Amino acid sequence: MKIANIVGARPNLVKIAPLLREMRKHPGIQPVLIHTGQHYDEKLSDIFFRQMEIPEPDVNLEVGSGSHAWQTAEILKKIELVLLDQKPDCVLVVGDVNSTIATALAAAKLGIEIVHVEAGLRSFDRAMPEEINRILTDALADYLFVTEEDAIENLLREGRPREKIYFVGNVMIDALRQFLPIAQQSKVGQELNLVDHDGFLPFAVLTLHRPSNVDSPETLQRLLEAIRQVADELPVIFPVHPRTAQKIKQIGRLAHPQLRLIAPVGYLDFLCLLSRARLVLTDSGGIQEETTALGVPCLTLRENTERPITVTEGTNQLVGQNPETILDAARQILRGKTKSGRIPKLWDGHAAERIVTILLRDLK
């Protein structure tokens, strides 16, 4: 059985790692790894591949950056030729990036079965490009592997057959559970002066990259003003996404001795920071899940989330873009009034195993 596994951005690498590891345990599966090159940073990509024990891609399309339409079209053109050459029994796509929908569309046109890992997540906000990608990929997929039970209801509401939907858990948590012991040996805390003789000092982690938060100079400045006030209370470590760095330059750096802008870091270093943080502020989807699994308080700087279980069961709170709301929620956490959360059902480190078992059993 030949399975073409598609990645395009760094979060895809985290999700594909446990799946490839599980596939390699079965002689009956030939996994092929195709990197579209949608997001490519040579240094960081090399770190992710090495740290997560991912083999070098069999194919790299080297598409690069561009508008959503241009990037999706380029991937669609190039991936079709690869699929015609490779002749896989199915393509497996993860998440909701442009590589996900472009590959699903190419495979559907060629009559190749489509496996969507992380299906059914919905923010109900079509202003998010990822929401369009999620909806369309799920409409095309033959196997819909979901991380939470709300996703099942979303898919049924959209008319997807129940027999195509499988509740398997979360492959991102598989990766977290595998690599957390290694990550906690990272020296990133010492390098950032976050450690003394008693261990880690209190600190927060911030990530920002969504267009709704960083494209408007007024919105970005308002958010960073709120973060500056959080930094009055404890150091805030801010690995800056390249697109966010460009926007910050346009508004001028908001200097604060405890707001520490650093270059993006590898998976293990970042996982170490997440696991030790007193508080995380983010607009990322995956970090909402990781903080829930780690039991770390998370404030999501968005009005909605496609991962509602992190709010209803986990440690996540939606605080939007209002500085007063953000600051009040952060201060509550720092004063010990943290939200008690629990790890969702099937987030047990065995999602990849369930997915591969189902494919071996059911894939025609």
Q: What are the two backbone dihedrals, phi and then psi, of residue 259, each rounded to the nearest 5 degrees?
A: -100, 105
Cα-Cα-Cα-Cα dihedral sign, residues 149, 13, 130, 264: positive
* CB contact at 8 A, 287 and 263: no
The two three-digit tokens of residue 295, written as one number: 């039991």
Q: In which residue are the tokens 């870091």 written?
A: 265
- Helix axis angle for 267-276 and 10-23, nearest 10°, is 100
By residue count, the chain amounts to: 364
Q: Which of 187, 135, 173 is nearest to 293 (CA)?
A: 173
What three-state secondary structure class fits 251? helix
The two three-digit tokens of residue 330, written as one number: 């952060």
Return the C-alpha torsion angle 254, 259, 263, 268, nearest 10.
-160
Active site residues: 209
- The residue type of 237 is I
* CB contact at 8 A, 91 and 6: yes
